[in-house]
Amino acid sequence: MLLAMDRVTSYYGKTAILKDFSFGIEEGKCLCVLGRNGVGKTTLMRTIMGLTDRSIGDITIKGTEIGSSPTHVRAKLGIGYVPQGRGILSEFTVRENILLGTFARHDGRPDIPEVCLQMFPYLKANLDRRAGLLSGGQKQQLAIARALAVDPKILLLDEPTEGIQPNIVHEIGETLMTLNRKLGITLLLTEQHIRVARRLGDAFLMVDNGRVVASGPMAQLTDDVIHHYLTI
């Protein structure tokens, strides 16, 4: 497994949000994490990155235990992260936002990787534009480009299509498919759009109350499973 969690419980303060959580993702695959709002999907991403107050249990990347490592070490081991809300620095330029990702590169190269410019022609043409002036879809492109600047083995994407116009949702989906299937970058994403998840994912995890309640190949994500765990 490229990335795995084994019986992980993760806390904010004294409150356990993830509980006895286990999963694994193979290199080159796309795993979609599904569930209602507030069930622990974002906490899963933050736990992998070391951004919760504490966690117990094993988290490994290519067999290396990272559960006690600080966030910057996890990034240098090849984890790129696109947080919910994107985390763009509005007063910085497009160029400056992307360059922030290079600080976590294992090879120490400080320049914008060519893949970031090839994947996102708009960003390439607007490197000196202030990031706060971009549209929602353009900011999501920028957040992905910044994560790519890490030169990641795996990309964690928390709700990558949230708050984006429907026509841009398809575009973001195409981008992620290219990253996964043509460039071979492993993807772990939380997603609200079932159609996007089914199109991108090789497998799924369904989360409820901080636990994995269903999982398997994407073909096993039936309408009954969706209705049981996602319908309010």
Spacing of C-alpha 9 from chain mean position = 19
| pLDDT tens column, 197-219 | 999 999 999 999 999 999 999 99
Dihedral sign, Cα of residue 168, residue 169, residue 171, residue 175: positive
Sheet holding 79-82, edge to edge: 79-82, 154-158, 186-190, 30-34, 203-208, 211-217
Helix (H) or strand (E) holding 200: helix 194-200
Stretch 129-148: mean pLDDT, rounded? 95
Domain assignment of residue 73, given as a range:
3-230
- CATH number of the domain within which 13 lies: 3.40.50.300
CA torsion, ordered 74, 203, 148, 168, to nearest 10 deg: -140
Judge whether 131 and 88 are in contact, CB under 8 Å.
Answer: yes
Q: What pLDDT does 55 receive?
A: 97
Cβ neighbour number for residue 67 with a 10 Å cutoff: 19
Q: What pLDDT does 127 receive?
A: 98
Stretch 148-170: mean pLDDT, rounded? 91
> What average pLDDT does the structure give for the chain?
94
Q: What pLDDT does 232 receive?
A: 65
| pLDDT tens column, 76-130 | 999 999 999 889 999 999 999 999 999 888 777 889 999 999 999 999 999 999 9
Q: What pLDDT does 168 receive?
A: 86
Q: What pLDDT does 54 receive?
A: 96
The total number of structural domains that make up the chain: 1
Stretch 31-45: mean pLDDT, rounded? 96
pLDDT at position 172 over 80: yes
